[in-house]
Amino acid sequence: MKKTPLTLLASAAALALLLTGCSSGGGGGDGTGSGGGTAGGANLPVGDEIGTTVDPALTELLPEDIVEKGRIDVAVDIPFPPMAMYDDANREIGFDPELGRLLGQKLGIDVSLNKQAFDSVIPSLQAGKNDIIMSGMNDTPERQATLSFVNYTHGGFAIAVKKGNDAGVEGQRDLCGLTVSVQKATVQGDLLRAMDCEVNVMELPSDLDAQTALRAGKSQAYVADAVVTEYVVATTDDGNAFEIVRDPENPAGFEPVYSGIGILKEDTELVEAIRAALEALIDEGTYQEVLDRNNIGAYAVESALVNQGTSAS
């Protein structure tokens, strides 16, 4: 999920936050979800997870329709580890679901995490099924035609190849002439198509499908956010299936961009409520604490700003 120009990927990256509530576990198909409120205690932290307290002044910022509904509906692409996944109790964990619950705690309102395929998250907002997107979505000028982004991370992309790197990929230029698998509707596909050489971009419904294509030899490389790629390389077959293409000059990945929470641009009150709540989490240190305990502190934003995707990276 990313931006536009050329130069791509390489190493560590940006995103995976663990904070979850006592709410019920992850719903099944698209549009299903689980609650995670606050006022009734449903968003209290579990185990060693990090929690926060309600700020009534921030609750006052919520738009009337959200208050009347009594919850914020969140579109989340699951599984997309480490951004979003299920634990052994079938509860949503990872950066997006857990930050969503933390925001709910701060705003004093329930959050409902609704599993949604990534290529349908924006239509789900337009159809009124969800209120916000928390799905590792990159903030791009193109998406800003429809959405406003409350930015929550800043990082780059990475390339993974099969263990042994028989394809000989050492950098972006080596992708020329190869088949590269990516998740459908992500900006990685746009980046690859924008290269000044022929790359066969294989777009697949889920990130897991893109990984499987590489594993099965249907693609010679797989491209994703660097933090996601690091996780995939480290955990698949105990680290024996894939390896990451590293560039010492780009240790945090190529083409770093802002990612964030997507909200329909006309929902200005909700944009401000979410922005202010994230700023409160940043100011009190819980945001950084959650990042650090998941080894992604280097990809934090210093303050909660909107639509930084139009800025130079």
Contact 118, 184 (CB under 8 A): yes
**Could you give the residue ranges of the DSSP H alpha helices within the chain?**
56-59, 64-69, 95-107, 121-126, 187-193, 207-215, 226-235, 268-284, 286-293
Structure tokens belonging to residue 124:
């789900």
Contact 210, 25 (CB under 8 A): no
Q: Is 165 exposed, middle or buried (0-12, 13-18, 19+ CB in 10 A)?
A: middle
Q: What is the pLDDT along the chain (313 residues), one digit of tens a residue?
A: 433 333 333 333 333 333 323 222 333 344 445 443 333 345 656 667 789 999 999 999 999 999 999 999 999 999 888 788 898 999 898 888 888 989 999 999 999 999 999 999 999 999 999 999 999 899 999 999 999 999 998 888 889 999 999 999 998 889 999 999 999 988 889 989 999 999 999 999 999 999 999 999 999 999 998 878 888 898 899 999 999 998 776 766 778 889 999 999 999 999 999 999 999 999 999 998 877 766 566 678 999 999 999 764 4
Output phi, psi for 84, to 5 deg. -160, 135
Contact 234, 16 (CB under 8 A): no
pLDDT in tens, 108-136: 999 999 999 999 999 999 999 999 999 98
Contact 188, 222 (CB under 8 A): no
Largest CA-CA distance found in the chain, in angstroms, rounded: 57
What's residue 76's pLDDT?
97
What is the model's pTM? 0.74
Q: Is 217 exposed, middle or buried (0-12, 13-18, 19+ CB in 10 A)?
A: exposed
Structure tokens belonging to residue 86:
């299920």
What's residue 294's pLDDT?
62
User: Beta 242-244 vs 147-162: how paired, if at all?
Assistant: antiparallel
